[in-house]
Amino acid sequence: MTDPRPVIRLRPKAEVRAIRHGFPWVFADELVVDRRTKAIVPGTIATLEDAERVPLGTVTVNPNSKIIARMLDRDPEAQIDRAWIAARLERALAMRARLFDQRFYRLVHAEADGLPGVIIDRFGDAAVIQPNAAWSEVMIEDLAAALCEVTGVTTVLKNASGRARTLEGLGEETVLLRGALEAPIEVPMNGATYLADLLGGQKTGLFYDQRPNHAFAARLAKDARVLDVFTHVGGFALAALAGGAAQALAVDSSAPALALAQKGAELMGASDRFDTRKGDAFEQLEALGAEGAQFDLVICDPPAFAPAKSALHSGLRAYERIARLAAPLVAPGGYLVLCSCSHAADLTQFRSSCTRGIGKAGRSGQLIHTGFAGADHPMQPQLAESGYLKALFYRLDG
């Protein structure tokens, strides 16, 4: 019996070597795109061949995306079914179970865990799936069933939102696939208690990627006055309180996020050391500067200002502005932490923008530490985009 799956073929000048060496994507201009290929239903499983008709592996195809094919398996005859998904989940779980004592972590980090475009964050007995590639949208039920089978979670949500899905031509929705959920979930991390709103919060409800950077900041926070800008549900502020901060001020534009941060501080017994300010981050930084406010530790963890190459220059200017506004708020000998989750801005570009902004504020100092995402956010070595998070820790002079 012949394989019913379609076959797609690379152009003669496509970068076959990169694909053979592990690069997981095929762009539309690298593929022979004829009427037959354009007619393939997004999310279809296909066999990828080079220009000489040599099979390279099993891929998923989406003619609506610039990333027209994503490598699923180097075996061109692999059967992509629930059992295949379960095997990938078991491998991902084995590493997280070794790394974390409690079941709160990113379980699947897309290509780096062999499930292209799929994000799964675990919150104890609940999990949130972000199906950011067409194939995972098509196979969402198999993903949910395999997830429950492998991990034992009883509640599964599908959070289908964000820029990645738009680029795939996919719609947005948040829906409960398994179990029930009535309230935000308490998440213990670095001695702090966070509240994750899995149904109504940003992304999957909590950002696990900053875990090691929260921990490093907490070491600097003993007896410190702390300012956490773009705090979300408490981010660095609650970690700083767990580290013994004298006072923490959290700034965010979202009232619901700040309410969850306040509740987290209460659960930690630290509400007397915690305060919030709602508003635009740039405006709040300017206002604090006008007030002559001073802090021993200032952290700015904004959303991606440069999510794509087209936004790189404006994004780097925004990072520079953040640094310029934040640096004057740092007391002499205090610390400034600047973060970026922009795929398009690499570490060198981001560091240059931040250092330039600090200099324009009339400050100088040491770069004492560079942080990245935690081990539950592994990098796919051939895919630079999977190493998106950067955190720069400066100690500023007088």
Domain residue ranges of the chain, discontinuous segments joined by + = 7-73, 82-178, 185-396
Question: Using one digit for the tens of pLDDT, what is the confidence trace for 293-333?
Answer: 999 999 999 999 998 889 999 999 999 999 999 999 999 99
Q: Which of 300, 339, 341, 354 is an active site residue?
A: 341
Q: Is 341 a catalytic residue?
A: yes
Q: Which of 375, 246, 240, 362 is nearest to 301 (CA)?
A: 240
Question: Residue 3: what pLDDT?
Answer: 55
pLDDT of residue 110: 96
Distances in whole angstroms, Cα of residue 359 to Cα of each of 66, 292, 352, 366, 396: 39, 19, 11, 12, 11
Please identify, in words, the CATH class of the domain defined by 185-396: alpha beta
- For the domain covering 82-178, report its CATH number: 3.30.750.80
User: What pLDDT sits at residue 1?
Assistant: 40
Structure pTM?
0.94
Q: Which residues of the chain have pLDDT under 50?
A: 1-2
Helix (H) or strand (E) holding 156: strand 155-160
pLDDT at position 383 is 87
The answer to whether the 7-73 and 185-396 domains have the same CATH topology is no
Q: What CATH number is given for 7-73 in this structure?
A: 2.30.130.10
Long-range contacts of 395-398 (CB under 8 A, 24+ apart): 395/333, 395/334, 395/335, 395/365, 395/366, 395/368, 396/327, 396/330, 396/332, 396/333, 396/334, 396/335, 396/336, 396/358, 396/363, 396/364, 396/365, 397/332, 397/333, 397/363, 397/364, 397/365, 398/332, 398/333
